Amino acid sequence: MSREPEVALVLSADEWVDDLHRYCADHGGARVRCLVLDPAVALDEEFDVLVTSDRWPALTRPFVDALHDRGRRVLVVGDPVDGSDLAARLGVDALVAPDAPLPELLETVVELTGSGADRLAVGRSTDTTPEALCGPGAAISGMVIVGGPRGAGSTEVAIALAGRWADAGTRSVVVDADSATPSVAVRLGLPLEPNLCTAVDAVAFGIGAVPGALFDLGPDWPVVLVGAPNRRAGTALGGTDVAAVAHALARHYARVVVDVSAGPGDGPDDLWSALVARAEVVVGVGSGDPVGVVRLGEWVDAARSLTSVPVVVVVNRAPASRRRRAEIAADLQRDGRVAGLTFVPVDRKVEDAVWSASLVDRGPFARAIDGLRTTIRMGVHGGAGGVGVH
């Protein structure tokens, strides 16, 4: 090495952390550049290798990817048996056992940096607006907006949609952008911090980074960005900033499923409008009763006034009667109003999943969501025409 490698050391109660810090100070071999508690520090500081415990909550795949984008490496100290699967899933660069001799750990650090390696300096753009990121008025690739009249079940559909994509092997993230009553965190049993406001701080003010705001729940689950922690914080969210967060996520995820508020007048109008206007597909969710169908139609009309992309609808808790379904379809599909229609039946598994903070992975509801995925794919690639009823 032309110089000693520099490490960022994540603080924890593990003995090896203090031992490594002292060993570097006394014997050299590497220099501890910074101590990390907040993941934002690891993304902002300059160093060669992040050394962390496998139990650090901020250790997620998007976070590791963000470090790699900055030319940094990640060394995890953890159990060789249990940690190997975690290391592979997160894409970290090396795994060392907690009881490994410190010289061996430092040798791994040197190997990761390479002989005479230079750090890759990556600057943060000062303009992170959607206009600067993807051009004026451009749709955000892979972004699916899910909304509808309040109480119809749009949050459940958004989570299920992202979940079914993840289960099929598609990298997906679900974002709670409902500024009035965000509920993804409660639905999945997640804490309120970090959240969408954390991600907005990253893109708008350069405080931390978007990956540090995400929850990685493991294989077959979508990554989750929970909503604002309270209504006051939600009403302060701007449409431009939230759209910039969605665009940042679209760089790493094939599908960005965004759960939005009920529509104009329900929270900041510019937030709903900005997201709908930049969606690749808009999904409206309504209940399967006469009032619910009327309100869903009004929501669809408001969305269509903002975008020319396909608008598909979901009739949630739909009636079993074929005659009534036909009446609903005739109303919603008149004058080319929607690009596709999916009926989602009542399913007891949904209630069970809500109480257990899990996903619905089989049954009528899951099959209907799979049909919705097909409708969305046809809508994106085939336009509004030719998309039928599921």
Kindly state whether residues 168 and 283 are assigned to the same domain.
yes
pLDDT at 27: 81
Alpha helices by DSSP H, the chain: 15-27, 39-44, 61-69, 82-90, 102-113, 130-134, 154-167, 184-188, 196-205, 231-235, 239-250, 269-277, 290-304, 322-332, 348-356, 364-382
**Weakest-pLDDT range from 80-84, 90-94, 208-212:** 80-84
Kindly state whether residues 19 and 146 are assigned to the same domain.
no
What CATH number corresponds to the domain at position 176? 3.40.50.300
Domain with 304 in it: 130-382
144-184 per-position pLDDT tens digit: 999 999 889 999 999 999 999 999 888 999 999 998 889 99
Kindly state whether residues 269 and 226 are assigned to the same domain.
yes
pLDDT at 221: 93
175-233 per-position pLDDT tens digit: 999 988 899 999 999 999 899 998 988 887 776 678 888 999 888 899 999 999 888 88
Domain membership flag for residue 310: yes
Per cent of the chain over pLDDT 90 is 39
Is 107's pLDDT higher than 50? yes
Is 352's pLDDT higher than 80? yes
Per cent of the chain over pLDDT 70 is 87
What CATH number corresponds to the domain at position 64? 3.40.50.2300
Mean pLDDT of 302-321: 90
Is 124's pLDDT higher than 50? no
**Weakest-pLDDT range from 115-119, 166-170, 288-292:** 115-119
Domain membership flag for residue 141: yes
pLDDT at 390: 59
pLDDT at 83: 62
pLDDT at 155: 95
Domain membership flag for residue 346: yes
- Given 78, 113, 148, which residue is the final one in a domain? 113
Residues in the chain: 390
pLDDT at 308: 86
Kindly state whether residues 249 and 331 are assigned to the same domain.
yes
12-57 per-position pLDDT tens digit: 888 899 888 888 888 888 889 899 888 888 888 889 999 999 888 8
Q: Which amino acid is at 144?
A: V
pLDDT at 383: 46
Distance set, CA 2 to CA 29, 46, 71 (Å): 12, 17, 18
Domain membership flag for residue 119: no
Kindly state whether residues 75 and 153 are assigned to the same domain.
no
Domain membership flag for residue 124: no
Kindly state whether residues 155 and 42 are assigned to the same domain.
no
Number of domains in the chain: 2
If you ran DSSP here, which 8-state letter would residue 225 be given? E
